[in-house]
Amino acid sequence: MILILMGPPGAGKGTQAKRLVARYGIPQLSTGDMLRAARKSGSPLGQKVAAIMDAGELVSDDIVIALIEEKLDGSEASEGAILDGFPRTTAQAEALDAMLSSKGRAVDAVLSIEVSDDDVVRRNSGRRTCPTCSTSYHVEFNPPRAAGVCDNEGAALVQREDDKPEKIQARLAAYHRDTAPVLAYYQPQGLVKPVDGVGSIDDVFGRLTAAIG
């Protein structure tokens, strides 16, 4: 079973991916994690990745596809995998389909966690972190006992630069620009499963498993 997990930043993909891994016994393949692991491994492909990253360049689609292929050929992914963060473009989706087809495999479902832009901004902009112990809070969903102060250290909580509303809006714009064509690519194949991402973690997980069937 090959699943693609999509959703805007802050939609809860990471949390839900871990639950899907536990439920179905298939690994989560995050492109970021794979690139870091390949670099650390020192393999021929890893050395190629390291050289590209050290030069400050973007890793090409064919290398990312090769990393995914390497993982899918391993015993851990013999029953399938959850792709997180890939494909991001139509060209990547086409390359993924071609690689899977050569192995007699195919994407089974594209799970699109749907969360409104307003909700994404609300979720992300409310995050706060203790600069001393790194404990995370949320001004609305998980506030500290005293406003703006860490429960453990008494330090003033900080907002990450990435969690400021203008930065979130920029990431959302990029997500919509890049993702809409990918969903349009898979739509005619009947693979896109929209899932309401609003509600408790358990509620969203229940909708995801129902969409998978």
Closest CA to 122 of 138, 146, 143: 138
- Residue 140's SS3 state is coil
C-alpha to C-alpha distance for 158 and 128, rounded to whole angstroms? 5
Q: Is 164 a catalytic residue?
A: no
Q: Is 160 a catalytic residue?
A: yes
Q: Is 13 a catalytic residue?
A: yes
- Check 18, 23, 40, 160 and give the catalytic one: 160
- Check 122, 123, 127, 193 and give the catalytic one: 127
C-alpha to C-alpha distance for 13 and 188, rounded to whole angstroms? 24
C-alpha to C-alpha distance for 178 and 46, rounded to whole angstroms? 27
C-alpha to C-alpha distance for 111 and 3, rounded to whole angstroms? 7
Q: Is 123 a catalytic residue?
A: no
Q: Is 127 a catalytic residue?
A: yes
- Check 39, 88, 128, 207 and give the catalytic one: 88
- Check 19, 36, 105, 171 and give the catalytic one: 171
C-alpha to C-alpha distance for 71 and 3, rounded to whole angstroms? 14
- Check 13, 39, 193, 207 and give the catalytic one: 13
| Residues forming the active site | 13, 88, 127, 160, 171
